[in-house]
Amino acid sequence: MQWETVIGLEVHVQLSTQSKIFSGSSIAFGAEPNTQANAVDLAMPGTLPVANEQAFHKAIMFGLAIDAAIEKKSAFERKNYFYPDLPKGYQTTQLEKPIVGPGHIDIEVGENSTVKRIRIHHAHLEEDAGKSLHEDFHGMSGIDLNRAGTPLIEIVSEPDMSSSEEAIKFLKKVHGIVTYLGISDGDMSQGSLRCDANVSVRPVGEKKLGTRAEIKNLNSFRFIEKAIHIEVARQIELIEDGGTVVQETRLYDSEKNETRSMRSKEEANDYRYFPCPDLLPVVIEDSVIEALRKKIPELPEAKLQRFQSEYALSYYDASLLTELRSVADYFETTTKTCADAKLSANWIIGDLSAFLNKQGIPIEHSPVSANQLADLITRIKDQTISGKIAKQVFEAMCNGEGSADEIIESKGLKQLSDGGAIEAMVDDVIAKSAAQVEQYQAAEPDKQKKLLGYFVGQVMKASKGKANPGQVNKILAEKLAK
């Protein structure tokens, strides 16, 4: 039997406000455990929550970015459950009137990059819970309540994705939107963006959805992809062996590369939702929505199209450069300084990305700034150095040895463009390569182009890579034609 996969995602995005969502208490991320919890987070007697205006504005901006309806009268409920990281025994959230209504995000699928629309059911505001810590406690668990009360939006998709690849593309689109908007840093390693995946399978052609399992708290693209693959295989094997998939919450164990049951999946009535008695409905005026609409920057899709038209980049290059706003900004600064979009793209996608990935640092912390890279590219363009020598200069720049000009000067790396000196080297190589010269001159023109590489290599070796490649090729072609 052939099977198809059905996936819906719930994406939790921690909003980058300066204070918690209902207490007004300031947030200092990375602080010592339990130093940021306050009386409201702990539901101490006599405390009353007050809604954070920043959180509403950021949620609205996300809604506008995905062409969603904005709920002008937004209300809060209490979601009741008992867990160590939720000292109040309830989570303040939205159920009946989420601030963001139905919208959509488009992804490209297949070899032809066909556009597939993923529907957004809604996105709602809520407070985050604390964090359970299971390491370094000698078999016990610790609770850090610093994160309790920080503002989130939970983005709930329809079950429109049919593979882990589509789920990752959707999640990357969400990541791009929230970081371009500046409403979240999207740092998955720090929990700023987390994902729950609802996964089910059904026979090909079947319309009815299969029983789903929810995989909780996935915090990297790689883990999300692996968890979905494993869960799909588990469900298919279970059904084909005569078993039945039960609706439950599961956790992904990255060390064992498996999902395991956590608890049976609760339904909405199990949480005993009821309107929050301490928070009045919030009315959003049209003027507020329009003012926020004007603040929305150029988003990834629009930037991708502009990079192709304005800078004549390929779709592939433009998509890599616009995935993160920080990379797109770095590219544009580099290009404006050196006036060469293609060379800028090549260096950023190639050497710079390779270095940053190896070091595990984001482009914001690159030891080579956009203007410094532009200066290096300018030295390639004005033939001060060759492309090969530029790689040596770039490596030195990454090591903090100075600017491109300083390194070129201190290491004596200026490209040799003296025609007489290059001609002398060419004559010497030809004199020492009688057999290769004979072979070259007897070859057909197409074959000669390949054989020329030997002579170029020898001249570059003799010049220690400093000879101007264009001049070397020109002089060699002229002398070998005689």
pLDDT of residue 132: 85
pLDDT category, 283, cuts 50, 70, 90?
A: very high
| Final residue belonging to a domain, choices 372, 392, 410 | 410
- Pairing assessment for the beta strands 131-133 and 258-264 based on DSSP bridges: unpaired
Give residues with Cβ within 8 angstroms of 229, minimum separation 6: 164
State pLDDT tens for residues 323-351.
Answer: 999 999 999 999 999 999 999 999 999 99
State pLDDT tens for residues 210-258.
Answer: 999 999 989 899 999 999 999 999 999 999 999 999 999 999 988 899 9
Euclidean distance between CA atoms 375 and 402, whole angstroms: 12
425 and 320 in a single domain? The answer is no
Q: Is the pLDDT of residue 110 over 90?
A: no
Residue recorded with tokens 């032809």: 112
Percent of the chain with pLDDT over 90: 65
Q: Is the pLDDT of residue 121 over 90?
A: yes
pLDDT category, 89, cuts 50, 70, 90?
A: very high
What is the pLDDT averaged over residues 46-56?
92
160 and 214 in a single domain? The answer is yes
pLDDT of residue 23: 85
State pLDDT tens for residues 400-411.
Answer: 999 999 999 898
List beta partners, residue 202. Answer: 4
pLDDT category, 82, cuts 50, 70, 90?
A: confident
279 and 307 in a single domain? The answer is no
| Final residue belonging to a domain, choices 267, 291, 315 | 291
pLDDT of residue 479: 76
Q: How many other CB atoms are found less than 10 A from the CB of residue 269?
A: 7
Q: Which two tokens stand for residue 231?
A: 């869960």
140 and 262 in a single domain? The answer is yes
345 and 472 in a single domain? The answer is no
112 and 193 in a single domain? The answer is yes
Residue 286: Cβ-neighbour burial (10 angstroms; 0-12, 13-18, 19+): exposed
131 and 171 in a single domain? The answer is yes
Euclidean distance between CA atoms 39 and 49, whole angstroms: 10
15 and 52 in a single domain? The answer is yes
pLDDT category, 30, cuts 50, 70, 90?
A: confident
Euclidean distance between CA atoms 173 and 107, whole angstroms: 7
pLDDT of residue 406: 94
What is the pLDDT averaged over residues 398-427?
83
325 and 430 in a single domain? The answer is no
What is the pLDDT averaged over residues 24-42?
84
278 and 396 in a single domain? The answer is no
pLDDT of residue 92: 95
pLDDT of residue 25: 83
State pLDDT tens for residues 157-197.
Answer: 999 999 999 999 999 999 999 999 999 999 998 889 999 99
- Pairing assessment for the beta strands 142-144 and 274-275 based on DSSP bridges: unpaired
| Final residue belonging to a domain, choices 242, 267, 291 | 291
What domain range includes position 336?
298-410
Stated pTM of the model: 0.83
156 and 113 in a single domain? The answer is yes
Q: Tell me the C-alpha to C-alpha distance, in Å, between residue 100 and each of 71, 192, 271.
A: 6, 19, 22
pLDDT of residue 418: 59
Looking at residue 473, which CATH number applies to its domain? Answer: 1.10.10.410
Domain count, the chain: 3
221 and 272 in a single domain? The answer is yes
Q: Which two tokens stand for residue 389?
A: 């020598």
